[in-house]
Amino acid sequence: MRRSRILGIMAVATATVTLSACSLSMTPGGASGGGGDSDGPVVIGFSQATQQSPFYVQLREGAERAAADEGAELYFADAGGDVTKQNDDVQDLITRQVDILLINPVDPEGVEAAIASAESAGIPVVTVDRPVPEGADAHVGRDNEAMGALVGERLAEELGDEGGTVIEIKGDAGGAVARDRSAGFHEAVAANDAVEIVEGPYSDYIRSNAVTAMQDLIQTNPDVRAVYAHNDDMALGALQVLRENGRDDVLVTGVDGLMEAVQEIADGGPYLATALNDPIELGRVAVGTSLGVLDGEVPGEPVDAGTTLVDPDNAADYVGDTTFALDGDA
């Protein structure tokens, strides 16, 4: 039996913009039914910010696997980095009578209208990866400030008394993840007075954007000693530019535990450190939390999936055939 909820679908149906079949997909996780049938499986609507990063591709996969394991159905919509489209996507999911909404917001403040519509329809909301200021029943993510701090502490230690210029390549403007990963890193590095951070542009967690940014940054900062990017995909883009310019002396750090980065660390190159952020597990926990909310189990605090520093001392332990490194207990 699907978990009961308060129906309010008709209140928002007229505001819906119908999506094309290529932008909304359904992942069945149990017998057919759902979508308004009280005898069918639970239906989860998952509105994701983008699929333009390996992390978010894997986050979707983790959610789909977990939904299937739980016998639930998952309707998926990709906002493509457009908050207006995301609000429209959520409206469409509401009219499909999902039982709960799982939202990875493009802009935490920009999805306020979508969350208000869900509330009007009596549909609970769980955010994943990026929290919103208010309106969500629960949030599932990781402590991004702690991840930035782990990497910052390791880099400050490696730079030592000599210090030097560190280029920071940032995620998305206004995003809580970018803000926290930056704050944690800055606080940790502040312990080394010899380090100067040069803040680069927002590159939206996309490698090609970081390549373009780094091509300019290396010219304006020839004395650079290290790079810190808000995710490994951007860090690897920076590493590409550094190698093209013969700068193997520049240390590189990132966040997320992308396997390509972990392999670079294990191989003993200039890639120094990353912090684990397994998206498959994050998707699993997000779906589990969503089902718990439907059962009245609303967590009082954000659900933290935890993290670990990966550096030359332990990178070999995490090398594998997955897209992102998995925790040793996974």
Q: In terms of domains, do 96 and 221 share one? A: no
Q: Quick check: is 326 in a domain?
A: no
Structural domain harbouring 81: 10-140+279-299
Per-position b or e across 159-182, b if 16+ CB within 10 A of its CB = beeebbbbbbbbbbeebbbbbbbb
Contact (Cβ atoms closer than 8 angstroms) between residue 257 and residue 276: yes
Distance CA 11, CA 212 (A): 46
Q: In terms of domains, do 22 and 135 share one? A: yes
Tokens of 74: 């998952």
Q: Give the per-residue pLDDT at 25.
A: 63
Q: In terms of domains, do 152 and 268 share one? A: yes
Contact (Cβ atoms closer than 8 angstroms) between residue 284 and residue 102: no
Q: Would the pTM of this model clear 0.85, i.e. be above it? A: no
Q: In terms of domains, do 236 and 314 share one? A: yes
Tokens of 32: 């057919």
Structural domains of the chain, count: 2
- Over the chain (330 residues), the average pLDDT of each successive run of 10 is 36 33 48 49 97 90 97 97 97 97 94 96 96 95 96 97 97 90 97 95 95 98 98 97 98 97 97 96 96 96 92 97 78
Return the DSSP state at 53.
S
Q: Quick check: is 3 in a domain?
A: no
Q: In terms of domains, do 118 and 156 share one? A: no
Contact partners, residue 264, CB within 8 Å, separation at least 6: 236, 239, 252, 271
Strands 271-275 and 309-310: antiparallel
